[in-house]
Amino acid sequence: MAVKMRLTRIGKKHAPFYRVIVTDSHNARDGKIIENLATYDALKGVLVQFHKDRVEYWIGQGAVLTDSVKKLYAKYKKTAVAS
C-alpha cells in the first residue's frame, strides 16, 4: 500500500479549510483516511492544529508528502524555530 500525506477539503464555498491526512494513494481526495494530522485555514494562511510527532512518525514509515503538504510542513518548522 502506497501511503500519502495530503490535503482534504472540509470548508464550505469560498471559505477553504483543509485537513492534512494520511491515506492510501488510491483513495479519493475526500475518501477513507488513516489518520488526521493537522488543520489549515487557507484564508488566514495559518496552521490551526499540527501534530508534529505524528507527522514525523509517518515520514519515518515512508509516507510520501504532496507538494502542498511539504510547503505547510516547511512553514510549520520555520515558525516553530522562530518561537
pLDDT tens for 1-55 read: 689 999 999 989 999 999 999 999 898 878 899 999 999 999 999 989 999 999 9
CB 33 within 8 A of CB 23: yes
Residue 81 has pLDDT above 80, yes or no: no
Count of domains forming the chain: 1
> Based on C-alpha coordinates, what's the Rg of the chain?
12
Distance, in Å, from the CA atom of 47 to the CA atom of 44, rounded to the nearest integer, reads: 9
Q: Which domain holds residue 57?
A: 3-82
Q: What is the pLDDT of residue 62?
A: 94
C-alpha dist (Å) from residue 33 to 2, 7, 49, 74, 76: 13, 11, 17, 23, 22
Q: What is the CATH number of the domain that holds 35?
A: 3.30.1320.10
pTM of the model: 0.86
